[in-house]
Amino acid sequence: MNLRIKNCQALLPLGDGFAVEQKDIFISGSRILALGSAPGGFLAEKTIDAADRLVIPGLINCHTHNYMSLFRNSADDVPFDEWLFQRVMPREDRMVPEDAYWGAMLGIMEMLRTGTTCFNDMQMHIHQTAQAAADAGIRAVIGRGLSGTGDDEGGARRLREAEEEIERWKEHPRLTFTIAPHAPYTCGRDYLIQALQTAKKRDLPLHIHLSESAFEVENMKKETGLSPIAYAESLGLLDVPILIAHCVHVDEEDIRLLARPNVSVVTNPASNMKLGNGFAPVPEMLASGVRVCLGTDGAASNNSLNLFHEMGLVTLIHKGNKKNAVAVSAAEAFQMATRKGAEALGLAQEIGSIEVGKKADLAILNLREPQMMPQHDLVAALSYSANGSEVETVLVDGEIVMENRRFPTIDEERVYYEVTRRAE
């Protein structure tokens, strides 16, 4: 479809930052065809009048567990170990595949409503999450969460399932995949090496949790003499493209290891605070050249999948924690939620910014909202003023997946019915 977005302000890349310019956006099929003037012969089949609107690149949630939307507000105000081993894992064990589909669909609705057009998911049901993403029209990067020792049938089965589902969905235009070992405390050494070998064989990135809690780091040092980051490096995990969630408890040597071009750290500020794990040293990572992107974690631990919330937190908590008003800027936060996320997922040539030739993954925000007025600095407003409710219309791959906050591809009432029934 040929689509024109007219009269809009567009958030465009400018060096390491951004510029807001009055531009019409012309889309043909899945890609941005032109910015500014209509290309010769272009005939719009649909025109969106975006006066008093801001068009931004779709946000990229680089770490979540989408099916956990079913667990929202069911495991709150408890220590991390109790949250994981006594509250979340037993619920996961009781899930059936259809539960995961409806939990994923609920999470996708929340993400689209708040401007996220791509998410990187670690979960147990690739097929159900892939089907939900395909049905809704969102872009997704999916990894089957892996755990095992390396010589156990359960671990082998999980890795086999991951490869089977990758084969099943690999031709889908909006779906890509990771190999996703959960963490060193749930994956034995041999199993982590098997996951690494699978990632190399399939030319896919790894996705893993490392250094999330002090307890995890202390145990790893007792067992191996190494931090989780150093342990991962010793196995070769940092030699391939890898997304590492959390990295809260890291030291200077860990940060040095993370500052590799193929390594991406996904900071999840709300989840890390809520579970009492602390603050990742994001300013130090940025100063050392570490690629930092942004995630929400799952709704069991956040309890939101709203990246506007995370952008606000990642700027504010580090200013307060470091007593430094320039510790993390609004522009840096928006880079984490867009460009850096695209780089981390190997999709920088396709998404993450509004540029001719890139995929038309866009969110249109209504600026005629009290919290967005007056408009002195719209980049700052995205972190410090916006809350996600401003998002009116969302495009993925040039297709309208939300218009005036309604979903043409999702039966909202059916989702709410299924989620309520299955959660109970």
- N-term to C-term CA, the chain: 42
Write out the chain's pLDDT in tens, 424 residues. Answer: 999 999 999 999 999 899 999 999 999 999 999 999 999 999 999 999 999 999 999 999 999 999 999 999 888 898 888 888 888 888 888 889 999 999 999 999 999 999 999 999 998 899 999 999 999 999 999 999 999 999 999 999 999 999 999 999 999 999 999 999 999 999 999 999 999 999 999 999 999 999 999 999 999 999 999 999 999 999 999 999 999 999 999 999 999 999 999 999 999 999 999 999 999 999 999 999 999 999 999 998 999 999 999 999 999 999 999 999 999 999 999 999 999 999 999 999 999 999 999 999 999 999 999 999 999 999 999 999 999 999 999 999 999 999 999 999 999 999 999 999 998 8
Q: 2-57+354-402: which CATH topology?
A: Urease, subunit C; domain 1 (2.30.40)
Q: What is the pLDDT of residue 242?
A: 98
Q: What is the pLDDT of residue 219?
A: 96
Q: Phi and psi dihedrals of 210, rounded to 5?
A: -140, 140
- Threshold 0.95, pTM exceeds: yes
Rounded CA gap, 46 and 4, in Å?
6
Q: What is the pLDDT of residue 154?
A: 94
Residues 82-135 have pLDDT tens digits of: 888 888 888 888 889 999 999 999 999 999 999 999 999 998 899 999 999 999
Q: Tokens at residue 225, please?
A: 């003499």
Q: What is the pLDDT of residue 328?
A: 98
The DSSP call for residue 68 is G
Q: In what order do the strands lie in the sheet with 206-210?
A: 206-210, 242-246, 263-267, 291-294
Q: What is the pLDDT of residue 16?
A: 86
Rounded CA gap, 225 and 219, in Å?
9
Q: What is the pLDDT of residue 424?
A: 83
Residue written as token pair 């959660």: 423
Rounded CA gap, 166 and 127, in Å?
9
Q: What is the pLDDT of residue 188?
A: 97
Rounded CA gap, 91 and 299, in Å?
13
Residue written as token pair 């939300």: 402
Residues 170-181 have pLDDT tens digits of: 999 999 999 999
Q: What is the pLDDT of residue 275?
A: 92
DSSP states of 335-363: HHHTHHHHHHTT-TTTSSS--TTSB--EE
Select from 58, 101, 61 the least CA-distant residue to 298. Answer: 61
CATH of domain 59-344: 3.20.20.140
- Give domain limits for the chain: 2-57+354-402, 59-344
